[in-house]
Chain A
Amino acid sequence: MGPLTFIATSARFALRGGKAYWLWVGCLLALIVWGGLAYLDQLRHGLIVTNMRDQVSWAFYIGNFTFLVGVAAAAVVLVIPAYIYHWKPIKEVAILGEILAISAIIMCMLFVAVDMGRPDRAWHLIPGVGRMNFPSSLLAWDVLVLNLYLFLNLTIVTHLLYRGIQGRAYNTRLVVPLVLFSIPAAVGIHTVTAFLYAGLPGRPYWNASILAPRFLCSAFCSGPAIMLILFQILQRTTKIAIKDEAIWKVAELMAYAMFLNLLLLGAEIFKEYYSGTEHLIHLQYLFSGVRGHHALVPYAWTYVGCGIAAFLLFLFPATRRNVFTLNLGCLLIYASVYIEKGMGLVIPGFTPDTLGEVYEYTPTLHELRIGAGIFSVGFLVFTLLCRIAVPILTGEFAAARAAAAEKSSHWLPHTGSAPAG
């Protein structure tokens, strides 16, 4: 089977589905067009269509980028037990974590791309062609590790699907080393992204050694939260067998991560408020406002409240095994980390700015539309890849193919094998 046949087969899988499936894909495409039009506008007029200014020079886009790096990195939460401990209930679905990582990294790259003043010069970042400021620039590091991580996950997923469609077992000598390597790479992408902020002495809110561990902990909360919800959707809409046991195990791991996340946040808050130096003002801007500027205060308390509530729900086995409270906890922690890494990390770092000015940032409609468009691209990539992976995982594909082979007419499944949409 050549690569083109593989692509054709995958496309045929991705393009089959019921009304609900096409409605979902249609909504995503509509949002992509809506965001794309906003981006065209931004290309025409410049980043002036955003509310970023010299005082707050990174904002919504870079906040989303930071959050999504965490989502991508959190794929390891699923991959580590699956491949190292051969823990079967998770191993079956670990590929979905890798697919999520691919989708998240694509979104990350898009968010960086739309934040660039000169996207036409993105090639300056290509090693050998452009002129990368390596190793001194952390953004240069980030570009390298993100691409590496994307390449690793793409290779693993493509191989698994390719072999799956062929009906052959995957090559352990290829997959296992790559998976093992993707674990430090996942920690690497989030650490490097944290260093991007932590390495700036002029921004005391970020210039803290606790930042990288905080990034990792929050990632291990939000990434699996998305996975748990997706698992349950797949449990209901497809024939994929995801055991409750696997979901509970992931939820238990998340409870540890949530505890550490809150602990590190508390450590940060104690240090700043107790010592009360000039660095405190950024946290004050976030939690209580500064000189009549309170834009972030509701966000701040929402994320703290959601984070604590989610931790309590995940702490007790009874609530983390109950479908309703489990999903509520997932939504709460997702919201908490999303706000914390978006508005809560980037904006207070810039407010007040280095000369003490408070510029209150709120995203414009353009920024929200472009953000929605990028999230839709990510969801679409995830949906299409799952569409291919799920029938392979469930064995539906193999069964259909065997039946087809018996009839020795077409090798593609065409009867009674359509996955439920």
Chain B
Amino acid sequence: MPQMPADEPQRDAEATEPLTLSRRDFLTAVGVAAAGFLAGCTPEVREAYFAKHFLELSPKEVEARLARLRADCSRRFGQAVSISAQPAQPGVVFGYALDLSRCIGCRRCVYACVKENNQSRDPQIQWIRVLEMEKDKGIDFEEANPYYNPDKVPDPDHFYLPVACQQCRNPQCTKVCPVGATWQEPDGIVVIDYDWCIGCRCCMAACPYGARHFNFGEPEVPANELNPNLHILGNRPRPRGVVEKCTFCIQRTRAGRYPACVEICPVGARKFGNLLDPESEIARILHEKRVFVLKAELKTEPKFYYFYGI
């Protein structure tokens, strides 16, 4: 830096400056303005834009949020909806098993899932992806075709591999989320707080199974097709700009029902239950069949198993 004489004639200029603010005045003014803005907002605006993380809500605040969401949905879809925040039951960890020798690739699970979980029809979002694989190549994703469209399934030269969220015990997606908007619940379901997700899509880059889907556009669910039985961490209508995924039908399974895909499957290829209950169907399959998981080498430890039942 060039040196200069130390005289400071600018003092005069400063002294006559009527608008001189000290740094402290300036910061105080900014702080007061911000506080005033926050205080001046209506509670609805504050709740919508400055909503807390779901896990930080008190039981009373959870009720308040449910009420707000109920009102929003009713207004938007013109019908009464029920929305719950039912927590995980103690002693339950959900597991899933899919019998590859039975699956015929009919995609009924895909459509049942779309309907049950209020996935956007346009742009299309589908949590289940059924891959058509060539029989003589085995499971090879490079050869998989998700857009198969024959007149009749199953095709004799192909078999089918449906993939959705693998509900990993060691999920990559929750690890990378910068704001903790996605986490594993005590019953093993990986959920997303749609009010907290910032839409950075790190989780989508991290997921090895393509299970996460982003609302690039405004999700559209026709009012007469809405499933009104909702869970706050599951199938409630999502806003634009957030990520969503399979939750093992949290709204059903926490209430003791099967996921929609298990119910609809015409060949009984899909099995579901409590891994901790040795008498459950899922526990028996794990014990009596030989199961495997996708991409086991990544150590994600899915709770979604595949097996060949026949």
Residues of A within 8 A of B (CB): 1-5, 45-48, 50, 52-55, 57-58, 112, 115-125, 130-133, 136-140, 143, 160, 163-164, 166-170, 196-197, 199-203, 278, 281, 349-350, 352-357, 392-393, 395, 398, 401-402, 404-405, 408, 410-411
Known: A357-B146, A402-B4. 10 other contacts (CB 8 A): A45-B218, A46-B241, A47-B241, A121-B179, A124-B196, A138-B176, A166-B4, A281-B142, A356-B131, A393-B2
User: What's the minimum C-beta distance from A135 to chain B, rounded to whole angstroms?
Assistant: 11
Inter-chain contact B172/A54, CB cutoff 8 Å: no
User: What's the minimum C-beta distance from A228 to chain B, rounded to whole angstroms?
Assistant: 23
- A5, B26: Cα distance in complex, Å: 14
- A13, B299: Cα distance in complex, Å: 59
B60-116 CB contacts (< 8 Å) to partner A: none
Q: Mark B23-61, 1 if CB is under 8 A from A, else 0.
A: 100100000000000000000000001100100100000
B1-31 CB contacts (< 8 Å) to partner A: 1-10, 13-14, 17, 19-23, 26
Inter-chain contact A167/B242, CB cutoff 8 Å: no
- A5, B16: Cα distance in complex, Å: 12
Inter-chain contact B241/A117, CB cutoff 8 Å: yes
- A123, B46: Cα distance in complex, Å: 13
* Complex contacts, A392 vs chain B, CB 8 Å: 1-2
Inter-chain contact B178/A115, CB cutoff 8 Å: no
B98-144 CB contacts (< 8 Å) to partner A: 123, 129, 131, 140-144
Inter-chain contact A53/B216, CB cutoff 8 Å: yes
- A3, B21: Cα distance in complex, Å: 8
- A401, B218: Cα distance in complex, Å: 59
* Complex contacts, A143 vs chain B, CB 8 Å: 178
Given A5-B13, A117-B201, A201-B208; A133-B179 close (CB under 8 Å): yes
* Complex contacts, A395 vs chain B, CB 8 Å: 2
- A8 (CB) vs chain B CBs: closest residue: B17
* Complex contacts, B299 vs chain A, CB 8 Å: 201
Please indicate which of the listed interface residues B1, B144, B208, B213 has the most CB atoms of chain A within 10 Å of its own CB.
Answer: B1
* Total number of residue pairs linking A and B with CB closer than 8 Å: 205
Indicate which residue in A46, A131, A167, A410 contacts B179 across the interface (CB closer than 8 Å).
Answer: A131
Inter-chain contact B22/A130, CB cutoff 8 Å: no
Given A124-B196, A137-B202; A48-B123 close (CB under 8 Å): yes
B185-217 CB contacts (< 8 Å) to partner A: 196-202, 204-210, 212-217
- A346 (CB) vs chain B CBs: closest residue: B205
User: What's the minimum C-beta distance from B49 to chain A, rounded to whole angstroms?
Assistant: 6
* Complex contacts, B207 vs chain A, CB 8 Å: 202, 354
User: What's the minimum C-beta distance from A413 to chain B, rounded to whole angstroms?
Assistant: 12
Q: Mark B214-250, 1 if CB is under 8 A from A, else 0.
A: 1111100000000000000000000111110000000
Inter-chain contact A355/B206, CB cutoff 8 Å: no
Given A5-B14, A5-B17, A202-B208; A163-B1 close (CB under 8 Å): yes
The 4 closest A-B pairs by CB, nearest first: A117-B199, A167-B4, A202-B208, A117-B241
Jot down 11 A-B pairs with beta carbons below 8 A, ordered by A: A1-B10, A4-B21, A46-B241, A57-B205, A117-B197, A118-B239, A136-B176, A140-B178, A167-B5, A169-B1, A201-B208
Indicate which residue in B1, B163, B172 contacts A200 across the interface (CB closer than 8 Å).
Answer: B172
Q: Is B298 an interface residue (CB 8 A)?
A: yes
Given A169-B1, A398-B2; A54-B241 close (CB under 8 Å): no
* Complex contacts, B198 vs chain A, CB 8 Å: 116-119, 121-122, 124-125
Inter-chain contact A133/B177, CB cutoff 8 Å: yes
- A402, B6: Cα distance in complex, Å: 10
Inter-chain contact A52/B200, CB cutoff 8 Å: no
- B208 (CB) vs chain A CBs: closest residue: A202
Inter-chain contact A132/B179, CB cutoff 8 Å: yes
* Complex contacts, A132 vs chain B, CB 8 Å: 178-180
User: What's the minimum C-beta distance from B4 to chain A, rounded to whole angstroms?
Assistant: 3
* Complex contacts, A353 vs chain B, CB 8 Å: 210
Inter-chain contact B14/A2, CB cutoff 8 Å: yes
* Complex contacts, A203 vs chain B, CB 8 Å: 205
Inter-chain contact B176/A354, CB cutoff 8 Å: no
- A161 (CB) vs chain B CBs: closest residue: B1
* Complex contacts, B9 vs chain A, CB 8 Å: 404-405, 408, 411
Given A131-B180, A200-B205, A278-B142; A115-B240 close (CB under 8 Å): no
* Complex contacts, B257 vs chain A, CB 8 Å: none
Inter-chain contact B14/A1, CB cutoff 8 Å: yes
- A201, B209: Cα distance in complex, Å: 11
Indicate which residue in A57, A121, A349, A354 contacts B214 across the interface (CB closer than 8 Å).
Answer: A57
User: What's the minimum C-beta distance from A165 to chain B, rounded to whole angstroms?
Assistant: 9
* Complex contacts, B216 vs chain A, CB 8 Å: 46-48, 50, 52-53
Inter-chain contact A136/B210, CB cutoff 8 Å: no
- B141 (CB) vs chain A CBs: closest residue: A356
Given A137-B178, A354-B207; A160-B1 close (CB under 8 Å): yes
User: What's the minimum C-beta distance from A238 to chain B, rounded to whole angstroms?
Assistant: 15
Inter-chain contact B131/A118, CB cutoff 8 Å: no
Q: Is B175 an interface residue (CB 8 A)?
A: yes
User: What's the minimum C-beta distance from A160 to chain B, rounded to whole angstroms?
Assistant: 7
Indicate which residue in A1, A125, A404 contacts B178 across the interface (CB closer than 8 Å).
Answer: A125
User: What's the minimum C-beta distance from B87 to chain A, rounded to whole angstroms?
Assistant: 19
Given A47-B216, A57-B214; A200-B176 close (CB under 8 Å): yes
Indicate which residue in B13, B146, B241 contacts A355 across the interface (CB closer than 8 Å).
Answer: B146
Please indicate which of the listed interface residues B197, B200, B204, B218 has the most CB atoms of chain A within 10 Å of its own CB.
Answer: B200
- A380, B10: Cα distance in complex, Å: 29
- A202, B202: Cα distance in complex, Å: 12
* Complex contacts, B123 vs chain A, CB 8 Å: 48
- A326, B240: Cα distance in complex, Å: 48
- B20 (CB) vs chain A CBs: closest residue: A2
Indicate which residue in B4, B21, B212, B242 contacts A117 across the interface (CB closer than 8 Å).
Answer: B242
- A290 (CB) vs chain B CBs: closest residue: B142
* Complex contacts, A130 vs chain B, CB 8 Å: 179
Inter-chain contact A120/B49, CB cutoff 8 Å: yes
- A47 (CB) vs chain B CBs: closest residue: B216
* Complex contacts, B172 vs chain A, CB 8 Å: 200-202
* Complex contacts, A197 vs chain B, CB 8 Å: 205
- A169, B175: Cα distance in complex, Å: 48
- A286, B104: Cα distance in complex, Å: 35
- A89, B56: Cα distance in complex, Å: 56
